[in-house]
Structure formats: structure tokens, C-alpha cells
């Protein structure tokens, strides 16, 4: 099954749950979507939900808001059996309801039939398109889609409506060690900080990440810190700035190129591993 095939209409229905008033659903979408109060205990999370980190303080605040003002946007579910539903969108809202000890929640029941493959795709694509994911969760989602469907970065970029460079740069985060990934996941460091650490050895990644967090360094300050480490480890002869201008762009080049490469003085050397990489590179040149 091609990735995304048949998902357009489903995503459109999910979009209605966010972008339309409930009255609009009831007046114009009854054929496809039903809104009603359902028992919270009957709702099970989507087993393929890519989002793993939830800010507990934000859940508490949302719970208090729902107590005062009610639920303004219903969750979206699909029916699994007579008394069982799978959650598609709105896990924060569902958690907030449970925290408030509510028995029921307003839900949009999307009348669609999904197998496990399409359920996984829907969870990933819906989260990606709505930008609800942390950068690390996004990287894992992209990787899962690529491996599941054996597609290229360019293909995934078209499917999720992101640039190829965004896909490639996000996937580079998977090269970070587990400690740094966890700090990115809990937002102790930003994606900008994390990108700088890609390519360093595991211990150096951890050391610099701790320094960034402890000293509250900006991305630029972190870049300078990484440069100073690299300069101490790889001293080179003093040469003029003009002769060494390419090194000023090393971090940007490393974060932008998905191909194996080396920077030598004012020379960029790309090592293509196969024919596909050459074709990918040529397609990039055509877009420049």
C-alpha cells in the first residue's frame, strides 16, 4: 500500500474536528461524522501514537480550564466495537478529563474503517501535519514512515508537505546519543542546540549538553563551545581567513547534507555510496 493512499479523506474528516464548530458538524457532516458524549473508560489510546512526552503541568492547566469552561474542541475517535473506541486526536484533552474525574467526554466519531497499517499512518501523518510533535518524536516518526514504506526523503517531504532539507535535518537527530535525545524530548535543550551536537562522540555530546543546560547557553554560544572543543582536538596551522573560509560554514554544511562528505580547506568532497544518492543530489541541484 502506498503511503498516504486513502488518507486524504480521513485527514479531512479529522481536520473538521479542529476547524469547524460542532453545529457545523451536526448540520452538514452527519453522513460522515457523529458528535456525542461517550464514556471515557470506553476509549483506548491509539497504539501507534508517536507522541510520547506530555507536559504534566500543561495537562493540569487544561484540566482546570475544562472544569471552568467545558470542552471547546471534542476529541476524535473511531469505533472499534459496540463499546470500544480508538483515540485518533486529543490525547491531552482525554488525559485532562481523566484528571478532572469526568466520566464522559465529547467526541467526534469518524466513520472510517482502518487496518493497523493505516491506523499507524494516520497517527503519524496527522501529528506531523498538525505540528504537535517534539523534534525527537518527529524524527522517530519520519524514520518509521521511511522504513515502513521504503521511500526516499524527497517522497516523504511531498507526503507531509515539508522541505527535503527539513526531513534530512530532523532525521540527523537520531544520531544523537540516548541522553541527548532525552534532553531534547523533555525540552531541556532545543532542536537548534541538538543539531550542533550531531557528529560528536557520545561522551562529548553528553558533556556539552550538560554545559548548555547548566549555563543556559544560546544556540550561538553553544556553536562557539563546540568549535572550541574541535579546535583543541584538531589543531591546524595558522592560515589566512580567506584560505579557510569554507570551515566557517562547516556546521551548516554538516546539518544540510545527507551524503557522506569531508571539508578540506576550501574544498567540499562528497562521497556517494550508490547511484540513488547521485540521483538525489542531482535532484537537489535542479531545485537550486
Give the mean model confidence (pLDDT) for residues 15-30: 39
Domain boundary among 64, 85, 115: 115
Flag the least confident range among 27-31, 106-110, 128-132, 231-235.
27-31
pLDDT in tens, 49-96: 656 667 788 888 888 888 888 888 888 888 887 778 888 778 888 989
| pLDDT on residue 278 | 82
In-domain check, residue 12: yes
H/E segment holding residue 75: strand 75-81
Cell of residue 194, nine digits: 541538538
pLDDT of the residue at 174 = 93
Per the structure, the complete domain to which residue 91 belongs is given by 7-115
* 182 has pLDDT over 60: yes
13-22 contact pairs (CB < 8 A, 24+): 13/110, 13/112, 14/76, 14/88, 14/89, 14/110, 14/122, 14/126, 16/108, 17/73, 17/74, 17/75, 17/76, 17/89, 17/108, 17/110, 18/73, 18/89, 18/130, 22/74, 22/106
Work out the percent of the chain whose per-residue pLDDT is above 70: 69
Q: What pLDDT score does 134 carry? A: 80
Q: Please tell me whether residues 97 and 17 are part of one structural domain.
A: yes
Q: Are residues 111 and 199 in the same domain?
A: no
Asked which of 81, 115, 149 is the last residue of a domain, the reply is 115
Give the model's pLDDT for residue 6.
44
What total of structural domains would you count in the chain? 3
What's the pLDDT at 101?
A: 92
Please compute the mean of the pLDDT values over residues 250-264 and round it to a whole number: 73
**Looking at the structure, do residues 193 and 281 belong to the same domain, yes or no?**
no
pLDDT band at 239 (very low <50, low <70, confident <90, very high): very low
pLDDT (mean) for 23-43: 61
Q: Which of 99, 115, 131 is the last residue of a domain?
A: 115
- What SS3 state is found at 270? strand
Question: Which of 48-52, 117-121, 210-214 is predicted most confidently?
Answer: 210-214
Whether 3 has a pLDDT exceeding 50, the answer reads: no
Q: Is it the case that residue 20 has pLDDT exceeding 60?
A: no
78 is a domain residue: yes
The mean per-residue pLDDT over the stretch 32-36 comes to 60
More confident residue, 284 or 210: 210
pLDDT tier for residue 11 given thresholds of 50, 70 and 90:
very low
Regarding whether 271 and 191 lie in a shared domain, the answer is no
- Give the separation between CA 209 and CA 214, rounded to whole angstroms: 9
Same domain, 217 and 272: no
Mean pLDDT along residues 217-227 = 90
Which CATH number characterizes residue 24's domain? 3.90.1530.10
| Percent of the chain residues topping a pLDDT of 90 | 20
Do the domain assignments include residue 124? no
pLDDT given at position 87: 86
Residue 129 falls inside a structural domain: no
Residue 73, domain member (yes or no):
yes
| Backbone torsions φ then ψ of 26, nearest 5 degrees | -65, -30
Residues 108 and 199 placed together within one structural domain of the fold:
no
pLDDT band for 197, please (50, 70, 90 cuts).
Answer: very high
Amino acid at each position: 500500500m502506498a503511503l498516504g493512499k486513502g488518507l486524504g479523506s480521513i485527514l479531512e474528516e479529522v481536520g473538521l474536528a479542529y476547524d469547524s464548530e460542532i453545529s457545523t458538524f451536526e448540520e452538514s457532516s452527519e453522513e460522515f461524522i457523529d458528535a456525542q458524549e461517550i464514556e471515557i473508560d470506553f476509549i483506548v489510546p491509539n497504539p501507534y501514537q508517536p507522541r510520547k512526552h506530555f507536559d504534566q503541568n500543561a495537562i493540569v492547566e487544561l484540566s482546570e480550564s475544562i472544569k471552568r469552561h467545558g470542552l471547546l474542541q471534542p476529541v476524535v475517535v473511531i469505533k472499534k466495537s459496540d463499546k470500544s473506541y480508538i483515540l485518533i486526536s486529543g490525547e491531552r484533552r482525554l488525559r485532562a478529563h481523566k484528571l478532572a474525574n469526568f466520566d464522559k467526554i465529547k467526541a467526534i466519531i469518524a466513520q472510517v474503517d482502518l487496518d493497523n497499517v493505516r491506523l499507524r499512518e494516520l497517527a503519524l501523518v496527522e501529528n506531523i501535519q498538525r505540528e504537535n510533535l517534539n523534534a525527537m518524536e518527529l524524527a522517530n516518526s519520519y524514520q518509521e514512515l521511511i522504513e515502513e514504506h521504503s521511500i526516499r526523503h524527497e517522497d516523504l517531504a511531498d507526503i507531509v508537505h515539508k522541505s527535503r532539507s527539513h526531513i534530512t535535518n530532523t532525521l540527523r537527530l537520531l544520531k544523537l546519543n540516548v541522553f541527548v535525545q532525552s534532553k531534547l524530548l523533555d525540552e531541556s535543550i532545543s532542536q537548534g542546540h541538538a543539531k550542533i551536537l550531531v557528529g560528536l562522540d557520545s561522551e562529548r555530546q553528553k558533556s556539552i549538553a550538560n554545559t548548555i543546560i547548566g549555563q543556559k547557553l544560546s544556540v550561538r554560544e553553544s556553536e562557539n563551545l563546540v568549535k572550541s572543543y574541535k579546535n583543541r582536538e584538531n589543531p591546524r596551522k595558522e592560515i589566512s581567513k580567506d584560505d579557510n573560509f569554507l570551515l566557517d560554514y562547516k556546521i551548516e554544511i554538516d546539518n544540510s547534507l545527507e551524503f557522506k562528505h569531508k571539508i578540506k580547506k576550501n574544498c567540499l568532497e562528497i562521497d556517494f555510496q550508490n547511484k540513488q544518492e547521485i540521483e538525489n543530489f542531482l535532484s537537489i541541484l535542479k531545485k537550486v
